[in-house]
């Protein structure tokens, strides 16, 4: 390997790894277990992680909880107005980052203290990049907001602008296996996060069977099985944002990817069971189709059942579930009864189970006649939700 390439491989990079709000500490834990040497600290809606290029590739392939991996490419300390941003960005060498033939897009956000028009600032940054390309090559790369090859995400805070390259290129929760969704599907990375929160010490899940009695399109069951099997969640993605970045070291990425693909070929049947049931036959068909496209159809089981009548499918285990909630499904009167009945049903028929319930409606959760062992505030998309964890005595 050339000295330049080795140097590039060893260079420290600052990543911001975003995740659903409420899962930041879980993400830190996950990143530390993937890369023990990584320096991490918690932020809002994500974490800051310092590491080499391997870390970026690893996060895209292996993180179950991350939403996006962003790589810091520039920091302009003095951008108190749009002209200062333009001047600073115009002298930064963007041509080192991507080629003239690649398309690009820019998104801008700002801290509450710096009130700006994000779209206008994005336009200014775009002008600076385009003008710089033009001065070098007499041509500029095209903007494409629908399917850009390269996406920059810039953030203004206290008069300074940090620009990140969207390293993952699109949300990582879109693993690629979910072709079919129902009315209120849960994002795959939130599902993975809840599976981490239900068992913080990581001692129960690895030796328990798993059940979701309101499985919908099967997200929680599929994520639980993928996690137990150790399948890298990023493997089913077709493209990542780093592929159009000029610093991408394809050999390094492909080596990591191949290791995970080889592992996939050696999967053995699981001794534990992964079950999902739903009262709606259409949802059950969706869940089956999704498990099939995730390549794990023979490791999971889905069938039609009413959650208030179904008996425990196995002796002891873990339930994580997302019963219907008012914002999207059901009528609040019916829902109150459903949560009450669910609580009694769990108490009477699911002794020995650890149960995690998420709902955006605190009042509905109060209907469950059980004392939670733990309570977490998480965001299901924009919906502030509560995730309660119970242990049902035998």
Query: Tokens standing for 73?
Result: 């490419």
Write down the least CB distance from residue 211 to ligand SAM, Å: 12
Stretch that binds ligand SAM, among 22-30, 49-57, 106-114, 217-225 (CB under 6 A): 217-225
* The only residue of 128, 184, 221, 312 in contact with ligand SAM, by rule CB under 6 A: 184
DSSP E strand boundaries for the chain: 13-18, 39-42, 46-51, 68-76, 104-110, 150-157, 160-166, 210-212, 274-278, 301-304, 317-321, 353-359, 374-380, 383-391
User: Least distance in Å: CB of 178 to ligand SAM?
Assistant: 9
Q: Is 386 in the site for ligand SAM (CB under 6 A)?
A: no
In DSSP notation, 66-120 reads -SEEEEEEEEES--SSHHHHHHHHHTS-GGGTS-TTS-EEEEEEE-TTS---HHH
20 binds ligand SAM (CB under 6 A): no
Q: Which is nearer to ligand SAM, 213 or 313 (CB)?
A: 213
- Minimum CB separation of residue 185 from ligand SAM in Å reads 4
Report the SS3 class of residue 224: helix
Q: Is 217 in the site for ligand SAM (CB under 6 A)?
A: yes
Q: Which residue number, 115 or 382, has a Cβ lying nearer to ligand SAM?
A: 382
CA-to-CA distance for 120 and 108, rounded, in angstroms? 9
Q: Whole-angstrom Cα distance, residue 224 to residue 230?
A: 10
Token pair for 157: 């805070």
CB of 192 to ligand SAM, least distance (A): 12
- Stretch of 138-146, 159-167, 214-222, 349-357 lying at the interface with ligand SAM (CB under 6 A): 214-222
| Window of 56-64, 148-156, 244-252, 275-283 that interacts with ligand SAM by CB under 6 A | 275-283
Q: Which of residues 294-333 bind ligand SAM (CB under 6 A)?
A: 306-308, 322, 324, 329
The CB-nearest residue to ligand SAM is 216
Q: How far is the CB of 305 from ligand SAM (least distance, A)?
A: 7
Give the C-alpha separation, 27 to 68, whole Å: 12
Among 283, 354, 380, 385, binds ligand SAM (CB under 6 A): 283
Q: Does 252 bind ligand SAM (CB under 6 A)?
A: no
Q: How far does CA 250 lie from the centroid of its chain?
A: 24
- 219 lies in the binding site for ligand SAM (CB under 6 A): yes
Q: Is 174 in the site for ligand SAM (CB under 6 A)?
A: no
Contacts of 179 (CB under 8 A, 6+ apart): 289, 290, 293
Nearest distance in Å: CB 275, ligand SAM: 13
Q: Is 160 in the site for ligand SAM (CB under 6 A)?
A: no
Applying CB under 6 A, does 383 fall inside the site for ligand SAM? no
Six token digits for residue 75 = 């920091």
Distance (Å, rounded) from C-alpha 355 to C-alpha 59?
A: 29
For strands 13-18 and 39-42, give the pairing: unpaired
* Cα torsion angle, 208, 209, 213, 214, sign: positive
| Residue selected from 149, 223, 278, 361 as contacting ligand SAM according to rule CB under 6 A | 278
Strand partners, 277: 303
- Minimum gap (Å) between residue 186 Cβ and ligand SAM: 4
Q: Does 280 bind ligand SAM (CB under 6 A)?
A: yes
Report the interface residues with ligand SAM, using CB under 6 A.
182, 184-186, 213-214, 216-217, 219-220, 278-280, 283, 306-308, 322, 324, 329
């Amino acid at each position: 390997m050339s000295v330049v390439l080795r140097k590039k491989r060893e260079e420290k990079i600052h990543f911001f790894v975003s995740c659903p709000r409420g899962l930041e500490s879980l993400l830190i834990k996950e990143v530390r277990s993937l890369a023990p040497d990584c320096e991490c600290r918690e932020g809002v809606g994500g974490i800051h992680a310092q590491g080499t290029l391997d870390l970026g590739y690893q996060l895209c392939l292996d993180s179950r909880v991350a939403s996006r991996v962003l790589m810091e490419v520039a920091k302009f300390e003095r951008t108190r107005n749009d002209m200062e941003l333009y001047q600073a960005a115009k002298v930064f060498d963007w041509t080192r980052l991507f080629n003239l033939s690649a398309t690009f897009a820019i998104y801008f956000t700002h801290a509450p203290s710096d009130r700006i028009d994000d779209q206008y600032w994005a336009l200014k940054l775009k002008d600076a990049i385009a003008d710089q390309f033009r001065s070098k090559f007499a041509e500029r790369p095209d903007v494409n907001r629908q399917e850009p090859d390269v996406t920059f995400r810039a953030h203004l805070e206290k008069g300074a602008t940090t620009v990140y390259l969207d390293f993952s290129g699109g949300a990582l929760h879109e693993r690629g296996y979910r072709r079919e969704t129902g009315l209120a599907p849960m994002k795959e990375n939130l599902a993975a996060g809840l599976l981490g929160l239900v068992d913080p010490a990581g001692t129960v899940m690895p030796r328990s069977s798993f059940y979701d009695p309101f499985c919908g399109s099967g997200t929680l069951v599929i994520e639980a099985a993928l996690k137990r099997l150790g399948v890298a969640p990023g493997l089913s993605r077709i493209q990542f944002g780093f592929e159009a970045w000029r610093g991408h070291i394809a050999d390094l990425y492909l080596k990591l990817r191949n290791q995970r693909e080889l592992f996939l070929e050696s999967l053995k049947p699981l001794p534990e069971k992964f079950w999902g049931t739903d009262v709606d036959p259409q949802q059950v068909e969706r869940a089956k189709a999704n498990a099939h496209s995730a390549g794990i159809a023979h490791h999971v089981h889905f069938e039609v059942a009413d959650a208030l009548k179904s008996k425990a499918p196995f002796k002891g285990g873990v339930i994580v579930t997302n019963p219907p909630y008012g914002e999207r499904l059901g009528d609040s009167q019916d829902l109150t009864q459903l949560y009450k009945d669910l609580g009694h049903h769990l108490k009477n028929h699911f002794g020995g189970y650890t149960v995690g319930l998420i709902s955006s409606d605190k009042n509905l959760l109060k209907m469950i006649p059980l004392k939670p062992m733990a309570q977490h505030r998480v965001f299901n998309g924009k919906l502030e939700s509560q995730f309660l964890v119970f242990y049902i005595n035998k």
